[in-house]
Amino acid sequence: MPNEWPTFPEGRRVIVGVTGGIASYKTAALVSRLAQAGVEVTVAMTPGATRFITPLTFQALSGRPVYTSPWEHIESHDPQHVSLASRADAAVIAPCTMDALARLATGRTDDVVTLITSAIDRARTPVLLAPSMNAAMWAQPATQRNLAQLADDGFTIIPPEEGWQACRTTGAGRMAEPETIATHIATALHSA
């Protein structure tokens, strides 16, 4: 794990998608540090994510509105998902649950996170996924198939770590630490 926080190119816009996993508490630290580094962070949350951490937390940390529904039009009357996707320099979904991986792999867009992600041109804008789930879910053949499909589709997978999990077990599937995710984002932004 990197010891230092990476540097980011100036004036970059990053979308942070948050899905319904306990690791969303780590995403709060990621959003805070990205904002402190001068990145314009826009957070989108699934309904499940709002059960773990509030949109108000991310609004306070990012200094920007938080998207929780595809039906909200916070900043304009345009289709928000298209507008947000076209302005982004990078996007990350952290945590990216087993369910979110499956929805992305099959092209389902039934929440604001997958809807925005589906509108991003991955040939121009990197989209990173930070999986988070328990070891049994991580080892499922369906999860591994979905990861392979997403990699083929142009997503960047940030490998999870091994360690203590909320289900009181130890194993692979624990979401990467905020510093590791930030390093992947910085690398993607510097390469784009």
Within 10 angstroms of residue 118's Cβ, the number of other Cβ atoms is: 16
118, 167, 172, 179: which is the annotated catalytic residue?
167
| Kind plus residue range of the DSSP H or E element containing 131 | strand 127-131
Domains held by the chain: number? 1
Alpha helices in 107-174 (DSSP H): 112-118, 135-139, 141-152
Q: Is residue 11 part of a domain?
A: no
Q: Does the model's pTM come out above 0.85?
A: yes
What value does the mean pLDDT of the chain take?
91
Q: Is residue 10 part of a domain?
A: no
- pLDDT computed for residue 1 by the predictor: 39
- pLDDT computed for residue 173 by the predictor: 84
- pLDDT computed for residue 79 by the predictor: 57
Confidence of residue 70 (pLDDT cuts 50, 70, 90): confident
In this structure, what CATH number is given to the domain that contains residue 164? Answer: 3.40.50.1950
Containing domain of residue 180, as a range? Answer: 16-191
CA distance 145 to 150: 9
Residue 62 has pLDDT above 50, yes or no: yes
3-state secondary structure of 43: strand
Q: Is residue 4 part of a domain?
A: no
pLDDT tens-digit series, residues 77-107: 555 667 888 899 999 999 999 999 999 999 9
Distance from the Cα of residue 77 to its chain's centroid: 25
pLDDT tens-digit series, residues 118-172: 999 999 999 999 999 999 999 999 999 999 999 999 999 999 987 767 767 777 8
pLDDT tens-digit series, residues 19-55: 999 999 999 999 999 999 999 999 999 999 999 999 9
Q: Is residue 156 part of a domain?
A: yes
Q: Is residue 3 part of a domain?
A: no
Residue whose C-alpha is closest to residue 5's, from 37, 35, 31: 37
Confidence of residue 73 (pLDDT cuts 50, 70, 90): low
- The question of whether 96 is a catalytic residue gets the answer no
